[in-house]
Amino acid sequence: MTPFALFRPCGGPAAGVRRLAIFGLFVLAAAASGPRAGAAQASSARLSPHSPPVVPGEHWTYVRDPDALSAYGWDPATLRVLSDFVRDSANTTGLVVVDRGRVVFTFGDIEELSYVASVRKSILAILYGPWVENGTIDLDATLADLGMDDVGGLLPIERRATVHHLITARSGVYHPASNGGDNLADAPPRGSQEPGTYMLYNNWDFNAAGAVFEQLTGRNIYDELEARLALPLQFEDWDRSAQRKSGDLTRSRNPAYHMWLSTRDMARIGLLMLYDGRWGDTQIISPEWARRLHSVVTPLEEMNPPRRRDGYFGYGYMWWVWDGPRATGPFEGAYTARGAWGQWITVLPAVDLVVAHKTKSAYRRTTSWESWQRMLELILEARGIEVDAWPWR
């Protein structure tokens, strides 16, 4: 096993970004399909644990051959264990592991478009950046300033919530959302919390944040997603026509801006975040905004409902952030987008890893937290990274 310290980035986050780390490997169960014809393949003669990072172009570079994987610092035998575990013990429909810009492991159909659930919120947070920094979106603007209301009306105290409160889940607005899948059932009484003082994961905040984005920028979220991310990052499977909003507008006038993406395109979003918003020679979002998104706004000890305080996640700007005493080793500075059924974009900057995971919701089954955790354990073991204590143990 390689000591964790050898993988720790030097010079702080910016240095880690300059190294632009992701891996490449392609290890599938026998029935799994290979990458699309024409995808670049890495040569074992040119790879080592110190190979420089790359940015994928039209296609990812894959490291597939066992000798190439070994030269790159990965254990093929442990990757086979990972493949067996995912096949036998999870409901995964797509998994991509990236190291230094190269794909080192895939499982399932990584090209299929499917619903990413609440991962949409973390993506919207990325889209906010340029518009905040050019002054189009004022994070201090209140709902009253923006003329925002909802079915049945908002309370005066709720109308004092700001855009910043919406994108950090601290609005204090406990109006029903147009869609479920949040912690509204655990909310305090309406009007009982001053905006900004109490974090609660409530879809009303996130849907309202989408409405604010479109109101202030004059841009449809999906058009912005295409222009800001899909085209510059060269998504391989993007389909603008697959994107659509939904929700019960008799409950709330703000629909949910659901998204349909492929696993390998989700990995590009994670890589952009790892690189502090830079993609090759282009700064897609500023490094300051990229880092702000995964900074801790609500620390672990202030998470709500209180049962969340027994875990290891705090909350940033619509990204979940490892926080507290368990955020050590490869999980120091780590963060993830996550959605129902088993959707994750997980970024581990301390070891330059990105993991994208999908479970197709149409199958009506989910990949459990325990399965996701075991995948991370096997991925780090395959990379030779020793972990003194797992956050979930």
pLDDT of residue 215: 98
Closest CA to 124 of 214, 195, 196: 214
- pLDDT above 90: percentage of residues in the chain: 87
Does 45 or 26 have the greater pLDDT score? 45
Classify 355 as helix, strand or coil: strand
Q: Cα separation of 361 and 351, whole Å?
A: 30
**Segment 45-97, tens digit of pLDDT:** 579 988 889 999 999 999 999 999 999 999 999 999 999 999 999 999 999 99
Classify 252 as helix, strand or coil: coil
Q: Cα separation of 317 and 126, whole Å?
A: 9
Residue 61: CB atoms within 10 A of its CB come to 23
* Mean pLDDT, range 160-180, rounded to an integer: 98
Asked if 42 contacts 62 with a C-beta cutoff of 8 angstroms, the reply is yes
Q: What 8-state DSSP symbol labels residue 191?
A: T
Does pLDDT of 11 surpass 90? no
Segment (H or E) for 40: strand 40-41
Q: Cα separation of 80 and 169, whole Å?
A: 40
**Segment 274-329, tens digit of pLDDT:** 999 999 999 999 999 999 999 999 999 999 999 999 999 999 999 999 999 999 99
Instruction: Say what the alpha-carbon torsion angle 236, 237, 239, 245 is, to the nearest 10 degrees.
Output: -120
pLDDT of residue 393: 87
Q: Domains (ranges, CATH) in the chain?
A: 4-112+262-275+330-382 (no CATH), 119-242 (3.40.710.10)
> What pTM was estimated for this model as a whole?
0.90
**Segment 240-262, tens digit of pLDDT:** 999 999 999 999 999 999 999 99
Backbone Cα Rg of the chain: 20
- Phi, psi values for residue 378, rounded to 5°: -70, -35
Q: What 8-state DSSP symbol labels residue 170?
A: -
Q: Cα separation of 118 and 341, whole Å?
A: 10
Q: What is the DSSP string of 264-305?
A: HHHHHHHHHHHTTTEETTEESS-HHHHHHHTS-SB-GGG-SS
Q: Cα separation of 295 and 284, whole Å?
A: 19
At 156, list the tokens: 């005066």
Asked if 279 contacts 265 with a C-beta cutoff of 8 angstroms, the reply is no
